[in-house]
Amino acid sequence: MAMVASAAAGLAAPAAATEYAPIDCARASSPSETAICANYVLGQDEARMATLYQWTTSLVAMGQRGALRDQQAVFLKDRAACGSDVKCIGQLYEARIDQLEAVMQRIRQHGPF
């Protein structure tokens, strides 16, 4: 019975951001990376954005892939400028995820070309 209670308690607690964030939290060197690693929601946003970015760059034509990479570089620069401001970082992730989801929607409607 105690074992079941221990297992249930483990399921109820959310994972720390360091357990799923694509950022190597052991080597987080910037204030924004440290904030992402310390915040569950930002860690989830990072994982979602990274997955969408990987999907979109693998599905679009080469010209659009370059544009996505350029946009990603701007996102990373802007994220770094947020420092450890969780609200600022969260807003950037929301906007970037929306951009990438719009690309995925176009791919679903028109194909990857």
Spell out the domain ranges in the chain.
24-110
* pTM of the entire predicted model: 0.79
The CA–CA distances, whole Å, from 113 to 34, 62, 76, 100 equal 37, 9, 26, 15
- What's residue 75's pLDDT? 98
- What's residue 112's pLDDT? 66
> Is residue 15 predicted with pLDDT exceeding 80?
no
Segment 55-91, tens digit of pLDDT: 999 999 888 999 999 999 999 999 999 999 999 999 9
Nearest to 85 by CA among 38, 53, 44: 38
pLDDT class of 110 with cuts at 50, 70, 90? confident
